[in-house]
A and B are shown apart, each in its own frame.
Chain A
Amino acid sequence: MNAVEVTGLTVRYSGATALDGVDLHVGEGELVALIGPNGAGKSTLVKALSGLVRPAAGQVTVRGRLAQVPEGREMFGDLSVDDNLRLGGWRNGRHGRDTTEIYRLLPGLDGLRRNRAGLLSGGQQQMVAIGRALMARPDVLVVDELSLGLAPLVVTELVGHLRTLNAERGLAVLLIEQNARLALGLCRRAYVLEAGRVVLHGPAGDLARDPRVTAAYLGGDVTAEGPAR
């Protein structure tokens, strides 16, 4: 049974087709990557998964709960870290807003509870964004551009957190990334989205060796120096 099942998804913005018949699935507890260039429709897919845009055709089925780590982190900048996290549990009602678990999972946030989210570093904000999404107690986490604008060391730490969440709690992750090397290194399966269509999909290892992927996204052979698994 799949956590996310997308069939024939088409999204149009005032005439322009952003997504054109996309088929995609994320199995329970699976790590899946979605790579593609700017303007391929990656963020539209994220919005469709979260129900923020209405598809013109096709279906999105989500089993359980889906939470989103949006591109650009989208902090509630003038609220505290703790408030940002608590708001992540908005759908769970009053009792679903206990943040203790999040500080245990992401200890880096513990000392920042009272800090204004807008004044944190990019890496800290990304951590808040992940924590805020986890507050929804998701079965699937959709992470839109995890690494964008962050230092490699920070990205490594964040990837570590995603791995742990996946391994220990069976959290399924759909990672949307421009950094194909990172995405293919972390995930087991991947899709390549170009101009609104899935042009390639398969095991991440195969895609990493596919000449079309290496030429367009990896600038050479990834297997030699991909991130350690």
Chain B
Amino acid sequence: MSDFIGYLLTGLGIGAGYALVASGLVAIYRVTRVVNFAQGAFAVVAAMLTASLLGAGLPHGLAELAAVLTAALAGLLVGAVAIGRPGTTPGTSLIVTLGLAVFAYAVEIVIWGDQPRSFPGLPGVAVVGGARLQAHYLLILGVTVPVFVAMAAFFARTDLGKALSACASNPYAARVVGIDTRRMGLFAFALGGALGGLAGVLTTPVQQVTFDSDVTLIVNGLAAAVLGALTRPVVALAGGLLLGVAQTMIAGYGAGAYQLEVALVLMLTAMIVQAARRGAVPEMAR
């Protein structure tokens, strides 16, 4: 039983990272209809930067905050390149983000090298229901849950959140009432950058990061996001947590780690089911 609780909490912690990446994908996709393949790079950049800043003597909290803000800026830049030019189709923008994700490798290797990096998180061991796990997993959950609550409140209560939802719901009508849809798209990219950055900053103390860690993050994040047809943040959250838990359980009780396989199977199943139900997959490819 204590094993189970341990795997569950560890899985939720890892899944929270996926959920943050997924919600960033959803935030961008809803407003711009662009699947942002550079989403994992935001996490890597933020994680690497945090390691450097902590190494330079910046205190915890400040270093992480600076890294998340930098990731938001990176998101804005990716958005500017991907959707900045009027008339760019979502399909073209998708390819641009893919290119930028690869370009990010070069930047990361030049700045930080190609060796894995990590930094200490919340120290100590927590005991929950007889299970012992790194206390940092609880910190991940303790940050992710309020972030999701704040996001829900942002979209449901604020004018800016409503305007973003309006762009997602009907971009033409949004332009008719005078909302600048491209600016909203750029804002969504910045938000996506911050969420990706947060994922990197939170999970790196328990999973060291290399320049190509974005592949794991984007595959898992995309799997979680696709569960909600890339448009439903709550489903993306649930999907991310489910993935994390499933992978940890399989690794814990089974023979080895099948992280990517689990994610890919889940994504494929979700896409097939959705395609059969209402053609969500063709819309994504458009």
Q: Interface 1/0s, chain A 47-66, versus B by CB < 8 A?
A: 00010100000000000000
| Interface pair A90/B165, CB less than 8 Å apart | no
Q: Interface 1/0s, chain B 159-201, versus A by CB < 8 A?
A: 1001101100110111111110000000000000000000000
| Interface pair B178/A91, CB less than 8 Å apart | yes
Given A76-B165, A78-B169, A79-B162, are A87 and B177 neighbors across the interface (CB < 8 Å)?
yes
Closest to A117 in B: B169
Q: Interface 1/0s, chain A 76-97, versus B by CB < 8 A?
A: 1111000100111011001001
A-B contact pairs, 23 of them (CB 8 A): A50-B176, A70-B172, A70-B173, A70-B176, A74-B173, A74-B176, A75-B170, A75-B173, A76-B166, A76-B173, A78-B169, A79-B162, A83-B162, A87-B162, A87-B163, A87-B174, A87-B177, A91-B177, A91-B178, A94-B159, A97-B159, A132-B177, A136-B178
Rank and list the top 7 A-B pairs by shortest CB-CB distance, nearest first.
Answer: A74-B173, A91-B178, A76-B169, A76-B166, A90-B177, A90-B178, A87-B166
Cα A75 to Cα B247 in complex, Å, equals: 41
- The minimal Cβ–Cβ distance linking A140 to chain B, given in whole angstroms, is 14
Closest to B168 in A: A78
* Additional pairs, 11, CB under 8 Å, beyond known A77-B170, A87-B163, A87-B177: A52-B175, A70-B172, A74-B172, A74-B173, A76-B174, A78-B165, A79-B165, A79-B169, A87-B166, A87-B174, A136-B177
Closest to B231 in A: A78
Q: Interface 1/0s, chain A 90-108, versus B by CB < 8 A?
A: 1100100100000000000
Closest to B156 in A: A83
Cα A52 to Cα B174 in complex, Å, equals: 11
Cα A91 to Cα B163 in complex, Å, equals: 11
Closest to B165 in A: A79
Residues of A within 8 A of B170 (CB): 74-77
Which chain A residues have a beta carbon within 8 Å of chain B's beta carbons?
A: 50, 52, 68, 70, 74-79, 83, 86-88, 90-91, 94, 97, 132, 136
Most chain B Cβ neighbours within 10 Å, of A70, A74, A77, A88: A74
| Interface pair A87/B179, CB less than 8 Å apart | yes
Cα A132 to Cα B178 in complex, Å, equals: 12
Given A76-B165, A79-B166, are A90 and B179 neighbors across the interface (CB < 8 Å)?
yes
| Interface pair B176/A77, CB less than 8 Å apart | no
Cα A78 to Cα B159 in complex, Å, equals: 16
Most chain A Cβ neighbours within 10 Å, of B163, B165, B169, B176: B176
- The minimal Cβ–Cβ distance linking B175 to chain A, given in whole angstroms, is 6
| Interface pair A68/B169, CB less than 8 Å apart | no
Residues of B within 8 A of A68 (CB): 176
Cα A94 to Cα B165 in complex, Å, equals: 17
Cα A22 to Cα B129 in complex, Å, equals: 77
Residues of A within 8 A of B177 (CB): 87-88, 90-91, 132, 136
Cα A78 to Cα B177 in complex, Å, equals: 16
Residues of A within 8 A of B174 (CB): 76, 87
Cα A111 to Cα B56 in complex, Å, equals: 60
Residues of B within 8 A of A76 (CB): 165-166, 169-170, 173-174
Most chain B Cβ neighbours within 10 Å, of A52, A76, A94: A76
- The minimal Cβ–Cβ distance linking B143 to chain A, given in whole angstroms, is 29
Closest to A46 in B: B176
Given A87-B163, A94-B159, are A77 and B178 neighbors across the interface (CB < 8 Å)?
no
Closest to B175 in A: A52
Cα A207 to Cα B163 in complex, Å, equals: 43
Cα A42 to Cα B173 in complex, Å, equals: 18
Cα A87 to Cα B178 in complex, Å, equals: 9
Closest to A135 in B: B177
| Interface pair A86/B176, CB less than 8 Å apart | no
- The minimal Cβ–Cβ distance linking B72 to chain A, given in whole angstroms, is 24
Residues of B within 8 A of A132 (CB): 177
- The minimal Cβ–Cβ distance linking A92 to chain B, given in whole angstroms, is 9
Closest to B169 in A: A76
Cα A77 to Cα B174 in complex, Å, equals: 12
Closest to A129 in B: B173
Residues of B within 8 A of A79 (CB): 162, 165-166, 169
Most chain A Cβ neighbours within 10 Å, of B163, B169, B173, B179: B173
Residues of A within 8 A of B173 (CB): 70, 74-76
Residues of B within 8 A of A97 (CB): 159
